[in-house]
Amino acid sequence: MSSHPMGTDLLQQDTIRDAVRETYGSVRPSDRRVAERFYSAAELDGLPDEAVRVALGVGNPVRHADLRAGETVLDLGSGGGIDCLIAARAVGPAGDVIGVDFLPEMIDRAGRAATQARIPNARFMVGEIEAPPLPDASVDVIISNGVINLTPRKVRVLAEACRILRPGGRLALVDLVLEHDLPPEIATHPAAWAGCLSGALSEIALYKGLRRAGFREVGIQPLHGFGIGECALYPLFSEGLLALLRSRVPQERHDRIAQSVFVRARKPHEGEDLPGRARG
Ligand SMILES: C[S@@+](CC[C@H](N)C(=O)[O-])C[C@H]1O[C@@H](n2cnc3c(N)ncnc32)[C@H](O)[C@@H]1O
């Protein structure tokens, strides 16, 4: 469905958003394999089984985010809430963790998990990452795990992240980047987009997007190769899509269609020049 007044979404942004919503709206908790790939037994200890079985990220942003006691953290696209729960333990009772997700069912699931795990400093709000319902300069750290690739409006999302961070605040994201273009049948496949593959940028495009959005000290650190074996861990990749990947992606790239990366960046302090060309 298009929300454009002319009835046509030339860039197909609404179509993509609707496909992503539909996909995640029908996701049910599966097994613990995704979580056990990225989180240690100590990190998973005490978390409700449902939150663990609905982990759908592509890494572990909290492990790299260097969270400190008392910080306020926002998780963009918090899903079943696993990273929020782990972040809430890291920032302790004086800290605050807010998860934002556009699906009310994910928000309910994550809220239940926080209650069950007796983690009172994690709370969840329905909202779009393109316009998160948070005031300017209100958060110390923004984390996200496998979500930025799902939006066609990445620079808008990153600019909103910059708005919400306090001056000097940090961005700590995990997502996939592409080293090679995907074959057209994969690039245009709705489930491959919903699975974080087709919407992935190259590392340089991601870097440029972060700079355009206003961030500085951008660092992109490779984490894991992401091949057909990894895709098969996620309920979003049907047998049909996996078969399409096997038949269309060159054999030598089957173990590495994409690469997961940790992205760190910092919002400039007041008075610090914004990134870009110097004037005068
Ligand atoms: C791949 S899952 C990752 C969930 C969670 N970060 C994790 O690691 O398990 C993507 C999540 O982002 C949410 N999402 C996708 N696009 C969104 C958008 N534009 N605004 C808000 N939430 C979005 C989906 O509803 C889903 O819960």
Read off the tokens for 24: 């995640």
Summary mean pLDDT of the chain: 94
pLDDT at res. 1: 45
User: Relative to the CA of 236, which ligand 1 atom is closest?
Assistant: 1
**Which is more confidently placed, 169 or 6?**
169
Read off the tokens for 99: 């998860």
Ligand 1, atom 13, lies closest to the CA of 77
The mean pLDDT value for 50-71 works out to 98
User: Relative to the CA of 57, which ligand 1 atom is closest?
Assistant: 8
pTM: 0.95
The mean pLDDT value for 206-215 works out to 96
pLDDT at res. 171: 98
Domain boundaries, the chain: 30-266
For 232-258, how does the pLDDT look when each residue is reduced to its tens digit (9 = 90+)?
999 999 999 999 999 999 999 999 999
Provide the edge-to-edge strand list for the sheet that holds 258-266: 122-126, 96-101, 72-76, 139-145, 165-177, 258-266, 216-226
Which amino acid would we find at residue 261?
V
pLDDT at res. 246: 97
Q: Which of 101, 128, 175, 233 to mutate to test the pocket of ligand 1 (most atoms within 8 A of CB)?
A: 101
Task: Please list every protein residue whose CB sits less than 6 Å from any atom of ligand 1.
Answer: 20, 24, 55-57, 77-80, 82-83, 101-103, 106, 128-130, 145-147, 150-151
- List of residues 6+ apart from 41 with CB closer than 8 A: none
* pLDDT for 11 beyond 80: no
**Which is more confidently placed, 10 or 133?**
133
Q: Which CATH number fits domain 30-266: 1.10.10.10, 3.40.50.300, 3.40.50.150, 3.30.70.1350?
A: 3.40.50.150
Q: Are 83 and 63 in contact (CB under 8 A)?
A: no
Distance in angstroms (rounded) separating the CA atoms of residues 159 and 214: 7
Q: Residue 196, exposed/middle/buried by CB under 10 A (0-12, 13-18, 19+)?
A: buried
pLDDT > 90 in the chain, percent: 88
User: Relative to the CA of 157, which ligand 1 atom is closest?
Assistant: 19
Rg (CA), the chain: 18
